[in-house]
Amino acid sequence: MELARVPVHNGLMTPDRTQSVPRRILLGVTGGIAAYKAAELVRCLREQGAEVQVVMTEAAQQFVTALTFQALSGRPVRTDLWDSSAEAAMGHIELARWAQLVLVAPASADFLARLAGGRADDLLATLVLATAAPVWVAPAMNRLMWANAATVANIATLTTRGIRVLGPASGEQACGEIGFGRMLEAQELADAVFATELEGPLRGMHVVISAGPTREPLDPVRFISNRSSGKMGYALAEAARDAGARVTLVSGPVALATPSGVARIDVETAAQMYQAVHATVGAADIYIGAAAVADYAPAACATQKIKKHGDIMDLSLHKAPDILASVAALSPRPFTVGFAAETCEIEKHAREKLIRKKLDLIAANEVGVERAFDRDENALLVLWSGGQRELALKSKSDLAREFVLLLAERYMLSRAQRVVEPLAS
């Protein structure tokens, strides 16, 4: 099949390594004159596509208003552990999980001391304790405070706990003295953030995912399609990205925003999806077919709107290209993962697809009225040659994260077998 040009979202046909850098940054701002530089930092981070959630200590609010950060970050600023309406929207534990990187800039001497003491006496200190994400601090203070034995000991404690300390720089200080204690410039901090690669089980891999429905046109105004919303495929794209992968999403028409850091290619028909997938999958490590692709498409698309005539209308349909099977037939091929949408005898039909299409893995979901299609929740039965695992009903976002961990496990095993088998023969 001839490969046509496909529309590319974000201008990213081949995603670059920036996709495995932190995209969700929790920026802690503590009390110090350098707090004004944090406003510039928000701008620098957002300019490169990061989402920034600002959390201010009480002291920070003496220097810059929360409104400034809200306007720059596009998100309400969090300041209080006991704010029940903010907690209801996103609790502090959820916020700690959301962050891919916690950066405290400026970090005052007092905040560093509280961090070293393991205190949880305000929202920011609590978040630092509760997050699994890397924590970085950019100290800013008077040169004598920085040189004080207490601060030196606190920095040593934080460093041994894995907290990364950026700066401070030497120079003229707000108090008129000269020495070490100036916070690094906003651009330097942003550059450090985007020079970091996230850890994760899919780190450094390229994953291509198809999502959403296809539309097969009958005439200029009508098409054959299905109820897929794209939610499952988009959740998989986010989960794979968060697991460290570079992700290309080949998407049918959906009403979802492109996950940040993901390259998206928009298509409509099965034939276009075939072309877009094959244009990107050549160098990919993993292909996941989560799209609900048409099995059959109208043999021809009428150039004019089809007129009503007679009581019965016959439609002539031709088989659409099987994208998944064609990817699995490539040599060399990526680790190939299918989804199976079944209304009955789920395991039997999914296993048959696994074998017939020569897949590495298949995730079966029971579909039908109020199931899987266009729902926020889903459950999967994941099958592979010689094994299976059930992933219970939960939000598509949580399910995708669980699925990606299993996928990474199966991928690693299959690659290990490839190495061992030729040695054994």
Contacting positions for ligand PMT (CB under 6 A): 210, 212, 228-233, 270, 289-293, 295, 320, 322-324, 338-341, 353, 365, 367, 372-374
Nearer to ligand PMT, 351 or 353 (CB): 353
Q: Which is nearest to 218 in space by CA: 269, 267, 252, 265?
A: 269
Instruction: Characterize the bridge pairing of strands 296-298 and 317-319.
Output: antiparallel
**Among 44, 175, 301, 344, which one carries the catalytic annotation?**
175
Nearer to ligand PMT, 179 or 217 (CB): 217
Please, what is the minimum distance in Å from the beta carbon of residue 323 to ligand PMT?
A: 3
**DSSP at 227:** -
Nearer to ligand PMT, 122 or 216 (CB): 216
Nearer to ligand PMT, 122 or 360 (CB): 360
User: What is the token pair recorded at 48?
Assistant: 């490169």
Where are any strands of DSSP class E within 230-316? 246-251, 263-266, 286-289, 296-298
The interaxial angle of helices 66-73 and 35-47, nearest 10 deg, is: 10
Q: Residue for token digits 């979901």?
A: 365
DSSP 344-355: SSHHHHHHHHHH
Whole-angstrom distance, CA of residue 318 vs CA of residue 297: 5
Q: Is 44 considered catalytic here?
A: no
Nearer to ligand PMT, 154 or 269 (CB): 269
Q: Residue for token digits 């905040």?
A: 111
Please, what is the minimum distance in Å from the beta carbon of residue 398 to ligand PMT?
A: 14
Please, what is the minimum distance in Å from the beta carbon of residue 375 to ligand PMT?
A: 7
Whole-angstrom distance, CA of residue 100 vs CA of residue 410: 25
76: Cβ contacts below 8 Å, ≥ 6 apart: 70, 86
> In b/e form, how buried is each residue of 203-220, taking b as 16+ CB within 10 angstroms?
eebbbbbbbbbbbbbbee
The interaxial angle of helices 186-194 and 35-47, nearest 10 deg, is: 40
Please, what is the minimum distance in Å from the beta carbon of residue 51 to ligand PMT?
A: 23
Please, what is the minimum distance in Å from the beta carbon of residue 261 to ligand PMT?
A: 20
Please, what is the minimum distance in Å from the beta carbon of residue 145 to ligand PMT?
A: 53
Nearer to ligand PMT, 116 or 250 (CB): 250
CA dihedral 347, 348, 352, 355 (to 10 degrees): 60
Nearer to ligand PMT, 158 or 273 (CB): 273
Please, what is the minimum distance in Å from the beta carbon of residue 219 to ligand PMT?
A: 22
User: How many beta carbons lie within 10 A of that of residue 64, not counting itself?
Assistant: 19
> Would you name the residues annotated as active-site residues?
175
